[in-house]
């Protein structure tokens, strides 16, 4: 009987050690990433997340909306977003592959669902153009883009960024 109790105690100790290890790893994992928040303008922020693990991809920017009404991740991998008064942002998202615009507490407007392959969108100063080329065949005045973006459905904390179009 003592051999059975000893084996059971050993198993319980092994399970307890595993659970403690998982708990320690879970508590330490948030500290493994570094986050730097950069205000863009209005209630828009770019949060740069850096992982010390090379396989995790290194350094990525995430577009966040932090207003009085919503605190939500809007897009991932949003390089070189441009703030446009009043409380709007233009961006290219490599996570969802599109060129977009968002104003205030409104869902983003997709200007080109294949924006990641539209080479002009990756050039320096792209968002300074007016009208803005959104594809090889279409240019839209910035004022019209912002008008359309302000008509989008309300943005809520339940917002989920779009999945890749391909």
β-bridge pairing 132-133 and 139-140: antiparallel
Looking at the domain assignment, is residue 5 inside a domain? no
Asked whether residue 142 is assigned to any structural domain, the reply reads: yes
Q: Is residue 122 part of a domain?
A: yes
Q: Number of folded domains in the chain?
A: 1
Q: Which domain holds residue 84?
A: 33-149
Cα 16 from Cα 31, distance rounded (Å): 24
- Does 93 reside within a domain? yes
3-state secondary structure at position 68: coil
Residue at 160 is within a domain: no
Q: Which residues of 11-22 are buried (b: 16+ CB within 10 A; e: fewer)?
A: eeeeeeeeeeee
pLDDT digit string (tens) for the chain, length 166 residues = 565 666 565 555 554 444 443 333 333 445 567 889 999 999 999 999 987 777 666 788 999 999 999 999 999 999 889 999 999 999 999 888 899 999 999 999 999 998 877 788 888 889 999 999 998 899 999 999 999 999 999 999 999 987 764 4
Looking at the domain assignment, is residue 66 inside a domain?
yes
Determine, yes or no, domain membership for 71. Answer: yes
Its pTM stands at: 0.76
As a whole number of angstroms, the distance between CA 122 and CA 166 comes to 19
């Amino acid at each position: 009987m003592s051999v059975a109790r000893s084996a059971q105690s050993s198993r319980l100790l092994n399970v307890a050690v595993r659970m403690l290890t998982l708990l320690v790893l879970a508590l330490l994992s948030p500290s493994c990433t570094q986050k730097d928040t950069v205000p863009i303008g209005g209630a828009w922020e770019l949060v740069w997340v850096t992982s010390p693990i090379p396989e995790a991809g290194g350094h990525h920017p995430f577009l966040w909306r932090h207003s009085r009404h919503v605190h939500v991740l809007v897009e991932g991998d949003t390089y070189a977003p441009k703030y446009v008064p009043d409380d709007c942002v233009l961006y290219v998202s490599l996570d969802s592959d599109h060129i977009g615009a968002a104003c205030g507490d409104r869902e983003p407007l997709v200007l080109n669902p294949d924006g990641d392959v539209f080479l002009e969108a990756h050039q320096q100063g792209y968002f300074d153009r007016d009208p803005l080329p959104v594809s090889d065949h279409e240019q839209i005045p910035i004022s019209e883009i912002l008008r359309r973006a302000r008509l989008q459905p309300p943005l809520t904390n339940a917002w989920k960024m779009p999945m890749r179009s391909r």
